[in-house]
Amino acid sequence: MGIPKKKALGALDRAFLAGEGRDVMMHVGGLLEFSPPPGKSLGFYQRLREEVATVKEVDPPFDRKLLHPDLLGSPTQAWISDERFDIDYHVRRSALASPGDERELGVLVSRLHGTPLDFHRPPWEAHFIEGLEGGRVALYVKLHHALVDGYTGMRILQRSLSSSPKDADTPLFFAPRARDDGKRAHDEEAPTLASLLHAVREQVGAAKSVGRALMSVARAIRSDDRSLALPLQAPKSTLNQRISRSRRFATQRIDAARVKRIATAAGGTVNDVVLAITGSALRRFLTEQGTLPQPSLVAMVPVNIRPKDDPGGGNAVGAVLATLATDVRAPKERLARIIDSTQRAKAMLQGMSKTAIMQYSALVLAPMMLSFVPGVAGRMRPAFNVVVSNVPGPDKPLYFRGWKLDEIYPLSIPFHGYGLNITLQSYAGSLNFGFTGCRDTVPHLQRLAVYSGEVVSELERAWGCE
């Protein structure tokens, strides 16, 4: 057996490993729900189990484990191939007491998402869940964020899906793909002197862009410019406390056409309306609890900075801050404030290289790392109040071995000082919201999901889109 090849971790990948702890688990996930094809044949799981049993190796990144699984913060940490890969450990079968409803599915997925991954193995799991009403099935997949980001994870999961309901042999998402060059996907060429010099020049150029952006931030602070959400401007709130390891997961599905009509009427984007939905729902949710801060809540919005044809892998994500205008009573004014805020934030990134955006994002989010210091979470102003992330997905219906994909919901990461994460996935004309929260910090999370669906009508009335 040869020496396994190493793959270096990026700075952001290392940060996700450094954040791992007893109560903070830095994995993301996806919940996919399927309805059976007409005349569903019995033995679906038996055939699936037999197919999985034949898998001897998997494609990267699913074969990668950590070189130092007991020292996550090791300076020599790297990914290596798992030479003793065991597919039966990673792919599992679960069942609800039939007929299981959406609430029972949510309870099971909340429990699965609240358990840590084993770093002595490649850090991912796939759970096929049966027993849902109407003969439906679900697939819950979780992967550590150091292994893939949400963009990459979605592209990988889609490899198991087909646009045709007649396709009965699409390979499972972790199965090896044929390659013309005979190379494994994780084989990498050694860096050349020219490539190293180019990287140095890129870092120097990025530092200049970041410096200009920080000067803009400084000017906004001096002039008390509230249209630009600034670091450490977010108020303290009940969302920003130390968390426990228990999780709660809730979902909401919203017609994308309704959101697009509101965005057009308001002169904003779909993401602007998503932030307005979030701000409106959080205002109602926290007002009922008597815990709404007087200043507006601030959202951190991840920004994918990959080229359109980038195959993914690792993490390539920037970040901007945006107001949720929760201090505004009127829905129309709230959305207008949000549009102004996001336009200012995006203007900060204009003209920056990918490297510069990542450097700037790291500086903006640096105060967040203080929440991992014992006793700090909840005592100081947070870097932001909540994460709101929009992951683009397929716009046409997809199928898995003839089973129609009805819904797909992302799950993400609460951590100390930031007990709620809202991530949505677009799919076939709908926006599917996944609310992942700490069970103790954000009680009654399902209410927030319900309110998110109801406030769409408020925005439609406000902008004349009914």
Which residues are catalytic, by number?
145
Residues 28 and 112 sit within 8 Å (Cβ to Cβ): no
Q: Is 375 helix (H, G, I), strand (E, B) or coil?
A: coil
Interhelix angle 445-462/270-289, nearest 10 degrees: 120
- For 29, the enclosing helix (H) or strand (E) is strand 27-35
- Residue from 398, 361, 401, 355 nearest 154 by CA: 398
- Residue from 426, 425, 407, 403 nearest 32 by CA: 407
Cis, bond preceding 4 (omega within 30 deg of 0):
no
CA triple 181-182-185, angle to 5 deg: 90
CB atoms under 10 Å from CB of 196, counted, come to: 10
- Residue from 103, 124, 145 nearest 58 by CA: 124
Whole-number Cα distances in Å, 67 to 14, 15, 20, 26, 268: 13, 16, 16, 18, 46
- For the stretch 377-406, what's the b/e string if a residue is b when 16 or more beta carbons lie within 10 angstroms of its beta carbon? bbeebbbbbbbbbbbebbeeebbbbbbbbb
Residues 302 and 422 sit within 8 Å (Cβ to Cβ): no
Hunting for tokens 């965005």 — which residue is that?
Answer: 263
Whole-number Cα distances in Å, 320 to 66, 275, 383: 30, 13, 11
Backbone angles phi, psi at 339, to 5 degrees: -60, -45
